[in-house]
Amino acid sequence: MNTDQFFSGLDQLFTENRMGEVEGYLLQALEQAEREKDSGAELAIVNEMIGFYRVTSEFDKLERCCSKAVELMDGMGLQGSVPYATTLLNIANADRAAGKLSEALENFQRVEQIYRQQLAPDDFLIASLYNNLSLLHQEMGDFAGAAEDLKKALPIVLSHENADSEAATTYGNLGASLLRTGEIAEARKCLRTSLEYYDKLGERGYHYSATLSALGEACYKEHNYEEALACYREAASEIRQLFGENEAYKIMQGNIQMVQKTIEREKKNA
């Protein structure tokens, strides 16, 4: 099976926002790979299906795909290899999305063991592992653990050229985690650094607006209300342009009103 052609077709569907056709495309491709007994192609397709069903929250289908991926890898004798670990990382993220946090943690730990044995210490896959593991720790309420994960990922990311986008995301996530551990000043520094990377890249989107929102919270906690207001307003504008007046936009509007009331109260008490 021509996997390059498969990925090209899949990318086209996503680019053209033809989400309703994606599942059928994946299932048809998997059927072809099975018919041709192309285990490598099957594994590649199943990995894409895991990502798709994670996004669509179809957890029964997601679980079946995860089981099939492990079955395929076992049949191919990939145990202990980097491709095996990378698929386990995909499965760990699926477990996290499905709320199976203990299973996710176990799979992340297995990935870490293999990566540490098989890869150079500065390999980008290790940074990817810790970035993903930090999201699990955040969901578990372990923000100190998440910050430690991100502190492991950050120097690896910064050691690579052309990794500004990953640096922006890592600094942003680290700032958000430090905010929850009460390290406000350090959180603010990380969040501002993240925004500097986004500005350098000219990137906008969900992560940019989330970083703005977190910086707004940090500024508010430091009683820098005018800057907090500016951050929340810009975040609200970004969200509205991207997603319309959704729930996140309404939350930003609530934050804006809260800060405005605080500013008015401060002026009255001055």
pLDDT digits (tens, 9 = 90+) for 143-158: 999 999 999 999 999 9
Side-chain-side CA neighbours of 86 within 13 Å: the count stands at: 17
**Mean pLDDT, the chain, as a whole number?**
94
Percent of the chain with pLDDT over 70: 100
User: Mean pLDDT throughout 29-58?
Assistant: 94
The helix (H) or strand (E) run that includes residue 132 is helix 124-139
User: Which pLDDT score, from 0 to 100, does residue 150 have?
Assistant: 97
Domains 120-195 and 204-270 share a fold: no
pLDDT band at 203 (very low <50, low <70, confident <90, very high): confident
CATH number of 14-118: 1.25.40.10
Check whether 242 has a pLDDT greater than 90: no
User: Mean pLDDT throughout 26-42?
Assistant: 95
Check whether 269 has a pLDDT greater than 90: no
* Packing angle of the helix pair 82-97, 39-56 (nearest 10 deg): 20
Q: What is the rounded CA–CA span in Å between residue 16 and residue 97?
A: 25
Check whether 10 has a pLDDT greater than 80: yes
pLDDT band at 243 (very low <50, low <70, confident <90, very high): confident
Check whether 196 has a pLDDT greater than 80: yes
User: Which pLDDT score, from 0 to 100, does residue 55 have?
Assistant: 84
Instruction: Give the chain's radius of gyration (CA, Å).
Output: 21
User: Which pLDDT score, from 0 to 100, does residue 237 have?
Assistant: 93
Nearest residue to 212 (alpha-carbon basis) of 195, 199, 189, 237: 195
Check whether 225 has a pLDDT greater than 90: yes
pLDDT band at 83 (very low <50, low <70, confident <90, very high): very high
Check whether 15 has a pLDDT greater than 80: yes
The angle formed by the CA atoms of residues 261, 236 and 253, to the nearest 5 degrees, is: 35
pLDDT band at 14 (very low <50, low <70, confident <90, very high): confident
Check whether 270 has a pLDDT greater than 80: no
Q: What is the pTM of this model?
A: 0.84
User: Mean pLDDT throughout 49-74?
Assistant: 94
Question: What topology does CATH give the domain 204-270?
Answer: Methane Monooxygenase Hydroxylase; Chain G, domain 1 (1.20.58)
- Residue extents of the structural domains in the chain: 14-118, 120-195, 204-270
Check whether 206 has a pLDDT greater than 90: no
Question: What topology does CATH give the domain 120-195?
Answer: 1.25.40
Q: What is the rounded CA–CA span in Å between residue 230 and residue 212?
A: 9
User: Mean pLDDT throughout 114-133?
Assistant: 96
pLDDT band at 86 (very low <50, low <70, confident <90, very high): very high
